[in-house]
Amino acid sequence: MKSRMTWFGMMIFSAIQLLSQQKTPLVITGATLIDGKGGPPLPQTVVVVEGQRIMAVDRQGKVKIPAGAKIVDATGKYLLPGLIDTHVHLEDIGLSDVGELPAAWDSTDKIKQLILINARLDLIGGITTIRDLGSTELVLQVRDEIDAGKYPGPRIMAAGMQLVKKTAGATKMKMFLDYDGPDDARAKVRKLFAERVDLIKIRLTHQRAIPSIEEVRAIVDEAHKLGLRATVHTDVPADDLVRLSIDAGADGIEHNAPLRAKDEAWLGEMARKGMTLMAGSGEFYIQRFRDASFGGSIGPAAIRLFPDEVLSALRKGADTLRDQTAQMEASGWDAEQVRTRFVRETDRARKAGVLLIFGTDAGAYLAIHGEEYKALYGETKMGSNAMEAILMATRDAAKALGKEKDLGTIEAGKLADLIIVEANPLDDVRSLHKLYRVIKGGVVYDPAELLRSYR
């Protein structure tokens, strides 16, 4: 079958994992370093990795190269921190609201197969850490199997099921966990904690009953007591839900409702409270509607890895999106007006001091895993310069995950999550798609080999 890992591919991956457990130092030489701190690029560098962590970073000639080290010659290339996508859905492949998979794919084995493909696509795309914001226990299982070295994939921080207010007559969804009252809300947070989630996702939507401030505060408070962060999905626009999220003390808000809030002072309040905002790339939204062709929306890696039945569903999804675009344009939708609004909103948030973080909602609306570079390029069309966009996906994303001590920048002591690209992404962020190597926890992956070894 097209999407099954070959015996040879499994042997290659097992060999890579075995090498990663050895103590042979890894040294990357000659690259121009963009370290994720926001400073100017540093040419002709040496980075020494021992085990999973970076031991030294400096110019060539200033770092002693350990005897017997494995050398990766990156002369003429660019070295950056591994990218972090703070909002993905591994159980989704890009069909949300635009199509459905055949019924035969609604099984545990099939869904896990798609999760593993999505994880591999993300790693091939230079994404070394993802935050999955809504899933079943399958993603938690895959997270653990990737950590154990059974499969290749990024680091996964998973929220598990989304917490939603119990609503009479609402359809029960497998990725929703409902609560009713503050005590029950706290109990459901503890249930998720017992299932070993990495954070809590609260879903606030006018499609369901709106919880009280006491209920949302109970969720956030219980999460914090357990050492977890709590982020909130809100409808767009929805000023009441933004206000509820801020008052409840949430750590972050997903999607761009705060950018549309009538009271601009709320952005300043978010900044003072240290709340993060995953607004999503408005330009990426526009890209998908303006170029809804199958080839334009879905890259060659996804076409190579997804089974034929899945690709067929995605083709139908692209047709649906194209029809939606035509209807929107006939009703007066104008891409340039939307772009102008997004730029204005991004500028408002930056001036207010809000920490903007990178997230694509990969899995929805033909947002295909592994294609995140398109959304990062989109950020440069929304008022951010190339360095600001890169920081959103490295240093700032790590802060939002509470992982700034380990991830997000290239410096001694940090985990060796790195990407080597062929061209300068500060000239064009799309160069991040020209990957030479991906390194996660000191393990070196050749993106082309990851693609070849799975079919």
Q: What is the pLDDT, as a whole number, of residue 321?
A: 84
Which residue would you say has higher pLDDT here, 77 or 19? 77
Contact (Cβ atoms closer than 8 angstroms) between residue 229 and residue 402: yes
Confidence of residue 5 (pLDDT cuts 50, 70, 90): very low
Domain formed by 83-401, architecture: Alpha-Beta Barrel (3.20)
Per domain, the residue ranges of the chain are 7-82+409-452, 83-401
What is the distance in angstroms between the CA of the first residue and the CA of the last residue of the chain? 8
Is the pLDDT assigned to residue 15 strictly greater than 60? no
Q: What is the pLDDT, as a whole number, of residue 382?
A: 87
Q: What is the pLDDT, as a whole number, of residue 171?
A: 82
Confidence of residue 292 (pLDDT cuts 50, 70, 90): low
Is the pLDDT assigned to residue 95 strictly greater than 80? yes
Closest residue by Cα to residue 392 from 156, 85, 132, 35: 85
Mean pLDDT, residues 309-319 taken together: 89
Is the pLDDT assigned to residue 3 strictly greater than 70? no
211/242 Cα distance (integer angstroms)? 13
CATH class of the domain at 7-82+409-452:
mainly beta
pLDDT in tens, 356-414: 999 999 998 888 999 999 999 989 988 899 999 999 999 999 999 999 999 999 999 99
Q: Are 7-82+409-452 and 83-401 the same fold in CATH? A: no
Which residue would you say has higher pLDDT here, 319 or 250? 250
315/328 Cα distance (integer angstroms)? 20
Exposure class string for 91-119: b at 16+ Cβ within 10 A, else e: bbbbbbebbebeeebeeeebbbbbbbbbb
pLDDT in tens, 335-358: 889 889 999 999 999 999 999 999
pLDDT in tens, 428-453: 999 999 999 999 999 999 999 999 98
Mean pLDDT, residues 166-189 taken together: 94
135/430 Cα distance (integer angstroms)? 29
pLDDT in tens, 233-254: 999 999 999 999 999 999 999 9
- For residue 237, whether the previous peptide bond is cis, meaning omega lies within 30 degrees of 0, is yes
pLDDT in tens, 122-171: 999 999 999 999 999 999 999 999 999 999 999 999 999 999 999 998 88
Confidence of residue 296 (pLDDT cuts 50, 70, 90): low
